[in-house]
Amino acid sequence: MVSNPFILSSTLLLSLPILFLLAPRIFLPSNPVPPIPPADEVHDLSLFNRASSSAVSLSHLSSTRPKLKIAFLFLTNSDLHFSPLWNRFFAKSNKNLYNIYIHADPTVNVSVPGGVFHSNNFITSKRTYRASPTLVSAARRLMATAILDDPANAFFALISQHCIPLHSFKYTYHSLIASSTFDYSSSPTESTTESGIRVKYKSFIEIKSRDKRLWKRYTARGRYAMMPEVPFEKFRGGSQFFVLTRKHALTVIKDRTLWRKFKKPCYRADECYPEEHYFPTLLSMKDPNGCTHYTLTRVNWTGTVNGHPYTYRPFEVSPQLIQQLRQSNNSESYLFARKFTPDCLKLLMKMADSVIFRD
């Protein structure tokens, strides 16, 4: 009996080195991503404030603004391998109907592609990490820059370096700006057009409320970390690639409340994908009826590896694949698709005019 306290104390002392060894793994995030530097946050806040104060909302446009533009927001951490295909996409289009903005990770030496891509298309960029709030920051940075740059930017399409267009620019522009039948989720009254321009617009963003992974994603920062601003029943998921209206792009860059929650570090790196939850959650809470709840970027999640979607390789590229990728139950067609390996470019260029850009 006398020796029991001594044995207990000795055991605790011997356990301390093991506790110190395991503590980082127990209490800290696995594979932690560095927090966003305060200087970056300050810079972004200044940019967002300037964009918000100077912005003109084009959510309910009339025929007095006929030259609406699509802002193509390229988010990349490598060279834009498919830039020749995108150059072909933009080649025969009216230069007054689009703008290009590129956010390139500054730690990577990304070359200027040439053609319609120029050095002045590259915006002030910060380092990005996969499955981290830095991807959200980059997308917000792109939107704010595009809002500041041109008041005619009416749609904001987020594109990855692995994305390809599935139609011509003419088809893409008509579908977003003029067509009253492209979006199956809108009623005829919502799709009313005046002088060839739709009066009301929706954002094409996937918003999912039923997914078996949602609870794990929600608690990745801690069980109550998102409360009270984001209760679980308001938490949403969806593709990180979308096409937002100017109204919703402004909503994104004006937000401070939800951002404070989503930028928190995750304790489950395998379930931390803020770029797939911040935008759907925010817009679902702010304006659910102003969103289609589906994306225009086709992606194949069969055979996913480490959270990455299926990647198409050259032996799979064919006219039949393009036709298959276009098919949608929510709209007349998908407009973009991912992911493709860079060595698919040669085959895609061969069928560009005869298949991809043939409307």
- The pLDDT of 137-158, averaged and rounded, is 97
Given this model, what pLDDT does residue 161 score?
A: 96
Q: Strands 69-76, 153-160: parallel, antiparallel or unpaired by DSSP?
A: parallel
For residue range 35-71, what is the model confidence (pLDDT) as tens digits? 899 999 999 999 999 999 986 554 444 445 558 999 9
Distance (Å, rounded) from C-alpha 222 to C-alpha 214?
13
* Secondary structure (3-state) at 41: helix
For residue range 259-301, what is the model confidence (pLDDT) as tens digits? 999 999 998 878 889 999 999 999 999 999 999 999 999 999 8
pLDDT band at 306 (very low <50, low <70, confident <90, very high): confident
| pTM of the full structure | 0.88
Say if residue 351's pLDDT is above 70.
yes
Given this model, what pLDDT does residue 131 score?
A: 87
Given this model, what pLDDT does residue 4 score?
A: 60
For residue range 189-221, what is the model confidence (pLDDT) as tens digits? 655 555 556 668 999 999 999 988 899 999 999
Given this model, what pLDDT does residue 177 score?
A: 95
Given this model, what pLDDT does residue 33 score?
A: 76
Angle value at C-alpha 130, between 124 and 132, nearest 5 degrees: 80
Given this model, what pLDDT does residue 18 score?
A: 47
Say if residue 23's pLDDT is above 60.
no
Which residues, other chains included, contact 272 with Cβ-Cβ below 8 Å and sequence gap of 6+? 29, 131, 132, 217, 220, 221, 266
Distance (Å, rounded) from C-alpha 124 to C-alpha 151?
19
Distance (Å, rounded) from C-alpha 101 to C-alpha 148?
12
CB 318 within 8 A of CB 230: no
Pair of tokens at residue 234: 């308001």
Crossing angle of helices 133-149/278-286, nearest 10°?
Answer: 60
Which residues, other chains included, contact 358 with Cβ-Cβ below 8 Å and sequence gap of 6+? 168
Q: How many residues does the chain have?
A: 359
Lowest mean per-residue pLDDT among 1-5, 78-82, 233-237: 1-5
Pair of tokens at residue 353: 């005019």
Distance (Å, rounded) from C-alpha 305 to C-alpha 177?
36
pLDDT band at 254 (very low <50, low <70, confident <90, very high): very high
Given this model, what pLDDT does residue 302 score?
A: 86
Residue 351 has φ and ψ, to the nearest 5°, of -105, 10
Distances (CA, A) of 11 to 26, 230, 303: 20, 44, 48
- The pLDDT of 231-251, averaged and rounded, is 97
| Structural domain spans, the chain | 38-356
Distance (Å, rounded) from C-alpha 89 to C-alpha 41?
35
Given this model, what pLDDT does residue 291 score?
A: 97
- Name which residue leads in pLDDT, 104 or 55: 104
Distances (CA, A) of 117 to 82, 112, 158, 160, 320: 12, 7, 16, 15, 29
For residue range 74-92, what is the model confidence (pLDDT) as tens digits? 999 999 999 999 999 999 8
Percentage of residues of the chain with pLDDT beyond 90: 75
Q: What is the mean pLDDT of the chain?
A: 88
Given this model, what pLDDT does residue 66 score?
A: 54
pLDDT band at 9 (very low <50, low <70, confident <90, very high): low
Residue 159: enclosing H or E segment and its boundaries? Answer: strand 153-160
Place of tokens 């709840």: 293
Distance (Å, rounded) from C-alpha 146 to C-alpha 140?
10
